[in-house]
Amino acid sequence: MTGLPTDRAHPLDPPVGLRARAPVSRLPYPDGHLGWLVTGHDAARAVLADPRLSARAELRHSPVSATGPADPAPPGVFIAMDPPDHTRYRRLLTGQFTVRRMRLLEPLIERHTTEHLDAMRRQGPPVDLVEAFALPIPSLAICDLLGVPHSDRDRFQRDTAVIASLDTTPARTAAAMADLTGFLGELVAHKRARPTGDLISDLVRGGEVDDNELTAIAVMLLIAGHETTANMLALGLYALLTNPDQLAALRADPALTDNAVEELLRHLSIVHIGPTRTALEDLTIAGHHITAGENVTVSLPSANRDPARFPRPDRLDLTRTTSGHLAFGHGIHQCLGQQLARVELRVGYHALLHRFPSLRLAVDAAEIQFATDTVTYGVRRLPVTWDQ
């Protein structure tokens, strides 16, 4: 095997070939680098928590393409930085993503959800649940958080789709990134002149980042804040609709919703490529000697299906104890927006299943197309129907 596999025998299971691997094994990268693949849960946690393993972009080899390491991350792109630079940016943003602030956003998320479910009802079946529900809800929520006009959703969704694709050309990716950066740079300048009550305005008032840093932060948050949750909403609904016993249990007991969200996060693990870290010095992981400079790629889908951590891991069980799953990562780079995602998923799943108790796939499950060629795994379209 060269590189990290992305093809799947079953759409809800980890990519082919990963389950047979040892918890830590050698991985030849597409550009010729020889590094490591981690599929075990305990080893994955150890890698993601170890400060001797770097997230810096200029040290990282891609596990899925032959492109070499990238340029160093520009100011503000803290996801590709190590402390102390990462620490500085992360500290500025942690207070913006508190559970309290996410709860303040919840009424807005509920309103957006209701409006889109009303529109689905008026339109009548069948509908594509990605276009009608899963994509707009997190897009509107991140707009509300950042202070992005709702009318600009089509623009940033189009750019994000290009940036997240693994098959697009470098020129198209660069053009999409330039367009998104230009758009958000203009918004940052507008917020600096007339700040309001959103996250970008709060960072402007704080005075600890310049416009270039703030624009880069906004780009990251905007992309991650809608694209990942949209895929999770849609793929989670596919999982429920194709597991009728679990769907029936959730409909019968809405109190299961919080735990259902965590189990779906574990079971699906839509971040299916990486994360990848680079050893800054020689170290040992699960008995394997990692040499300085070697890359280590973690397979989150495999780690979250490790039978040593989760009994009967391939079964979707909404009553399962899910503590310790790695769907949001682990360590200092753990997903900053995880509480927002949880609110969106909880509200979205509950409201949709409540409003449409007969919701079901409008096509055979075998006809659903899945996105293996994007940074996060998901469904391209999800046609559904219901009894009117």
Does the pLDDT of residue 353 top 70, yes or no?
A: yes
Confidence at residue 225, expressed as pLDDT on a 0 to 100 scale: 86
Does the pLDDT of residue 263 top 90, yes or no?
A: yes
Give residue limits of the domains in the chain. Answer: 24-385
% of the chain residues with pLDDT over 70: 100
pLDDT per position as a tens digit, 38-58: 999 999 999 999 999 999 999
Q: Which two tokens stand for residue 195?
A: 């700040």
**Which amino acid, 249?**
A
* Residue (of 292, 304, 241, 310) closest to 268 by Cα position: 304
Confidence at residue 336, expressed as pLDDT on a 0 to 100 scale: 92
pTM of the model: 0.95
Does the pLDDT of residue 379 top 90, yes or no?
A: yes
φ and ψ at residue 381, rounded to 5 degrees: -140, 150
Q: When comparing pLDDT for 164 and 277, which is higher? A: 277
Confidence at residue 21, expressed as pLDDT on a 0 to 100 scale: 84
Task: Assign 167 a pLDDT band (cuts: 50, 70, 90).
Answer: confident
To which H or E segment does residue 54 belong? strand 53-54
Does the pLDDT of residue 317 top 90, yes or no?
A: yes
φ and ψ at residue 361, rounded to 5 degrees: -65, 140
pLDDT per position as a tens digit, 73-114: 999 999 999 999 999 999 999 888 877 778 788 999 999 999
Does the pLDDT of residue 354 top 80, yes or no?
A: yes
Q: Mean pLDDT across the chain, nearest whole number?
A: 94
Print burial letters for 338-373: b (CB count within 10 Å at least 16), e (below 16). Answer: bbbbbbbbbbbbbbbbeebeebebbeeeeebebbbe
Does the pLDDT of residue 1 top 70, yes or no?
A: no
Does the pLDDT of residue 67 top 90, yes or no?
A: no
* Residue (of 64, 80, 62, 84) closest to 72 by Cα position: 80
Asked whether 52 and 280 are in contact (CB, 8 A), the reply is yes
Other beta carbons less than 10 A from residue 196's beta carbon: 11
User: Mean pLDDT over residues 160-168, rounded?
Assistant: 89
Does the pLDDT of residue 216 top 70, yes or no?
A: yes
Confidence at residue 89, expressed as pLDDT on a 0 to 100 scale: 95
11: left (phi over 0), alpha (psi -120 to 50) or beta: alpha
Angle made by CA atoms 113, 335, 347, in degrees to the nearest 5: 20
Task: Assign 192 a pLDDT band (cuts: 50, 70, 90).
Answer: very high
Does the pLDDT of residue 254 top 90, yes or no?
A: yes
Asked whether 303 and 44 are in contact (CB, 8 A), the reply is yes
The DSSP symbol for 130 reads I
Asked whether 230 and 134 are in contact (CB, 8 A), the reply is yes
Separation between Cα atoms, residue 294 and residue 281, nearest integer Å: 9
Separation between Cα atoms, residue 103 and residue 100, nearest integer Å: 5
User: Mean pLDDT over residues 304-313, rounded?
Assistant: 95
Domain 24-385 has CATH 1.10.630.10: yes
Asked whether 62 and 28 are in contact (CB, 8 A), the reply is no
